[in-house]
Structure 1
Amino acid sequence: MKKGIIWVCLQLMLVLTSCGAYLNQPFVQSRARIGENTSPASIIQQYPPSEKIVVGVYKFRDQTGQYKPVQNGSTFSTAVTQGGTTILLKSLEESGWFRPIERENIGNLLNERQIIRNTRQEYANGKKVTMPPLLFAGTIIEGGVVSYDSNIITGGSGLRYFGVGASNQYRQDRITVYLRIVSTSTGEILKNVYVSKTILSQGISANLYRYVSLRRLLEAETGVTKNEPAQLAVKEAIDKAVELLIIEGVVDGVWKPSGGKKAVDVITNYYQEEKTLADNTLLFNRKQEVRRARNSMSALAGVSRITGDYSNPEFAFGFDLKFKYLFNNPRLSFGGSVGRFEIKNTGIFHEAFLTSSINFEYNILPYDKLTPYVYTGFGSVSKVNLDNTFFKLQLGGGLEYLLTNKIGLMLNAESIFMLSDDLDGQSIGTKNDQIWRVGAGINFYF
């Protein structure tokens, strides 16, 4: 029976945590294939230029000087590919907007043309030998990979129990590309853009280490690691930089797409939407989006427990209805609530109360779907028949998760500090009564 349980645990561990290792591990060699498509279809491909732009690229290289990070020792391998010019020329060609011409190895091209000219002259029998002229570039593109930041985010998690464990780790790097296009007639920099791209590495592992019987040790281990290729990340960043260069050029009137003003308007609207999203996104892909409307109503249900003059306090049911108004600063809000709760001491005291509160709330992450919040305020507690009223101060906090921008789920915890010691009908000692409340509910924004 014991061996059977261990075997089942081992199989579940292999299936649930390491499916990728067995479904994707390479058993055979793979043949060469067409390179991966790193970028999705772009709007610039829907609106080609009225006339393709002849462009030259002399160099587009790694300017970071960054070597590949390793855990131990040193390495002379660079973190960024040194073939940036080749990648950029491919991106320019794929965009459909440019006619790239050879400039990186212009010396080789001129030498070959000279060889052709000399060979033809030798067999021309006195005839004049001519060759077609080289295209000249109306613009040239400069720039490079300017930064490679390693380990901007690292982390992981793991669990081990009774010899069975599993863990995962992740690391994120960041690469930044600058690109500028220059007029060869005036030397003016027509456009200058930059793009950043993250590079993700992940690892999952699971293991088992158990004695199944005397001198019988069962040990098993499996795992998989996935690293995003840096070369593909560079290609994607360059593709995006070329796209941005074209779009900003269209918006600013540097060049024109076929389709006239209608095409310009479509591209401009697309650019404004993407720019707004980029302006509202901070480092680590945190989007600064105002998700919550000014007004909200919420309903919460939970339990309450008193710290008072009687012994053996118990949890008892309660609920609240809340209204909240957000100020211009989405971190701050003001609101009020009404509710009902019970306090109970086993075999001694059990009574229901009505409560009302005014609160000032602070949202810690107001632009995220999941935000912690804290609040403080004052209010009153009355018996159900409104016979006696007691004043209070409260301090609370919780978590809210937005299912949509209109509906959120809440977890809430609150401590109520009574300004008297008579809530439970007894006044013993020097400390006032205190009530702890925990609840969950739903919030509606409008």
Structure 2
Amino acid sequence: MNFFRIAGVILLTSVTLSCGTYFNQPVDVTEARIGETSKVTERLRTLPLPQEPVVVGVYNFRDLTGQYKPSDVGSTFSTAVTQGATSILIKALEDSRWFTPIERENIGNLLNERNIIRSTRQEYQAGGDQNQPQVPPLLYAGILLEGGIVSYDTNIITGGMGARYFGVGSSTQYRQDRITIYLRAISTSSGKILKNIYISKTILSQALDVSLYKYVSFQRLLEVETGFTRNEPVQVAVKEAIEKAVEGLIVEGLKDDLWSAQEGEEVSAQLISDYEAEKEDSDLTGLYNRKFIQRNYNNSFGLDMGATIMRGDYSGQEAGAHLTFDYTTGISKSLFLNVSASGFELKNENAFSRKLVGLDLNGGYLLLPNDKISPYLYGGSGVIMGVEEAPEDQDNIHLKFQYGIGAEYLLNDKLGLKIFAQHNLAFDDEVDYLINGKRNDQFFNFGIGVNFYLGSSSQSQNN
């Protein structure tokens, strides 16, 4: 019974991790539907109206990668990305309502059709009437939009995890690809490149499988398998990237007074402010969606509290409280110095109890100095002293060295939360007033704390 409970839990957990996909498996053909929209599509459609739409021409928004779709079974002639990016761009321009796109991709067909209209009118107009209306002139573009899909990088991140226990197992795998586009606006009167927009979009593929393989009785084998694979369509990713590029082009144009919004400067200023905030956030984001944080201040005061556990000559350890004040200053981006003063209690059940104060000096290393969450290592030496007077044959002051590990989470430039664990080793065996065995006394500190940052900018000091 316990086995089937474990199997049921694993199956249920694995399936519900992506229940939207699992419980919407296709069992029949579906009718044609209107194309999907994304959050970027909705933002594009809800932009404020322009003073006057800009006439733009798009000759060709090409796939510049030249890549073919990867295959495990041999070569393939299918391209990795869509060849219809021009149509996607024209649709995005239309949805934005800021541009009037004109036909340029197949301009030859359009000109041929206009010539047919002219020749037909001339040939069949009654009595050679010269007052017949002429074919209206074509619109000309004030701005040309050029660019294309410049890269399609596959397998930039791959990974997965799994577990199996007595025939019950589950595993998941994922893969992330990346597509990059450039969109530039060119003035047809001067040939000047007005704006050049760079957008990237990741493409996620996931696979999940669950299996059960078990003999339930003699010569009775139970075998169950289920799972699914979910791949984000490349065309949808291209569409979202192009729409994001059009949105960026509109806001960048507002910023440089290339065009203006009907609703006035306040609406334009809000759009620009939101866009600049997004750009700043993007500048802090690395290739693998890691946020890079600039630590603007180099000095901090900290307050820590937690528990201290004695490992000495008595058994029956008990946790005692400790409180620490510390000061930290950065030497470089990753290295720091720390000095701390603490008060704590060491005790063993019904055998020993002693209150002490300590002073420590440590050097440390931040493992991820540009991340919001950064683990750190530290070590150094210190001195501890008993608050009460020690027995006549015992010292009240003890030297020690310590090392530890912790992690800090930056709430903002001025405030950080931290957790830590520290191992303290005394240079003698007299901390608990008992000399026994070959090992010196030692104790552990576990706690949480907060750092208050202040002082001069670390950026100016490190440059």
Secondary structure, aligned partner of 1:236: helix
State the 1:173 CA deviation: 1.0
Which residue is equivalent to 2:424?
Answer: 416
Amino acid at match of 1:378: S
TM-score normalized by the length of structure 1: 0.87
Structure 1 stretches of at least 4 aligned residues deviating more than 6 Å after TM superposition:
402-405, 426-429
- Cα distance in 1 for partners of 2:412, 2:373 equals 11
Change (3 A) 1:339 1:205: farther
Match of 2:383 in 1: 380
Report the Cα offset of residue 208 of structure 1.
0.8
**Counterpart pick for 1:280 among 281, 284, 294:** 284
- Counterpart CA distance in 2 for 1:428 and 1:315 is 16
Matches within 5 A, 1:240-251: 240-251=244-255
What amino acid sits opposite 1:418 in the alignment?
A
State the partner residue of 1:389: 397
Q: Separation in 1 of the partners of 2:45 and 2:329? A: 41
Seen in structure 2, the aligned counterparts of structure 1 residues 27 and 396 have a Cα distance that, compared at 3 Å, is same
Which residue of 365, 372, 391 corresponds with 1:362?
365
Could you tell me how far apart the structure 2 residues matched to 1:11 and 1:22 are?
16
* Residue 28 of structure 2 corresponds to residue 28 of structure 1: yes
User: 2:149 corresponds to which residue?
Assistant: 145
SS in 2 for 1:32: coil
Matched pairs, number: 435
Identify which of 275, 295, 305 aligns with 1:299. 305
Cα drift, residue 441 of structure 1: 2.9
| 1:156 aligned partner, one-letter code | G
Percent of residue pairs bearing the same amino acid type: 46
2:96 paired with 1:88: no
Instruction: Look up the equivalent residue of 1:250 and give its one-letter code.
Output: L
Q: Report how far residue 37 of structure 1 moved.
A: 0.9
Q: Indicate the larger mover: 287-296 or 247-256.
A: 287-296
Q: CA deviation at 1:320?
A: 2.7
Change (3 A) 1:222 1:292: farther
TM-aligned CA deviation for residue 373 of structure 1: 1.3
CA drift of 1:351 comes to 4.5
Which one of the candidate residues 441, 444, 456 is aligned to 1:437?
Answer: 444
Partner amino acid, structure 1, of 2:24: N
**Long gaps (5+) in structure 1:** none
Give the corresponding residue for 2:52: 51
The answer for the alignment partner of 2:240 in structure 1 is 236
Aligned CA distance change for structure 1 residues 398 and 382 (closer, same or farther; 3 Å): same
- Report the counterpart of residue 207 of structure 1 in structure 2: 211
Equivalent residue, structure 2, for 1:103: 104
1:179-202 Cα distance to aligned partner (Å, 9 max, x none): 100001100000011011111111
SS in 1 for 2:274: helix
User: How far apart, in 2, do the equivalents of 1:123 and 1:148 lie?
Assistant: 54
Tell me which amino acid in the other structure corresponds to 2:307: A
Contact 1:359/1:375 (<8 A) preserved = yes
Q: Which moved more, 1:51-60 or 1:257-266?
A: 257-266
- 2: distance between equivalents of 1:252 and 1:238? 21
Q: Please tell me whether the aligned partners of residues 56 and 141 of structure 1 are also in contact (alpha carbons under 8 angstroms).
A: yes
Q: 1-side partners of 2:329 and 2:267: how far apart?
A: 40
Q: Deviations over 1:221-252 (max 9, x none)?
A: 11121111111110000001111111111111
User: Secondary structure in 2 aligned to 1:157?
Assistant: strand
Q: What corresponds to 1:256 in structure 2?
A: 260
Q: Separation in 1 of the partners of 2:129 and 2:328?
A: 87
Quote how far apart the aligned CAs of 1:49 are: 1.3
Tell me if structure 1 keeps the 8 A contact 2:291–2:372.
Answer: no
Q: 5 Å matches for 1:167-178?
A: 167-178=171-182
CA contact (8 A) 2:424 2:442 kept: yes
Structure 2 residue 116 is matched with structure 1 residue 115: yes
Normalising by structure 2, we get a TM-score of: 0.84
**Which runs of 5 or more residues in structure 2 are unaligned?**
391-395, 454-463
Residues 18-38 of structure 1 show CA distances to partners (whole Å, capped at 9, x for unaligned) of 142541111222111111112
Please name the residue that 2:14 is paired with. 17
Distance 2:320 2:70 in 1: 56
* Distance in 2 (alpha carbons) for counterparts of 1:279 and 1:123: 64
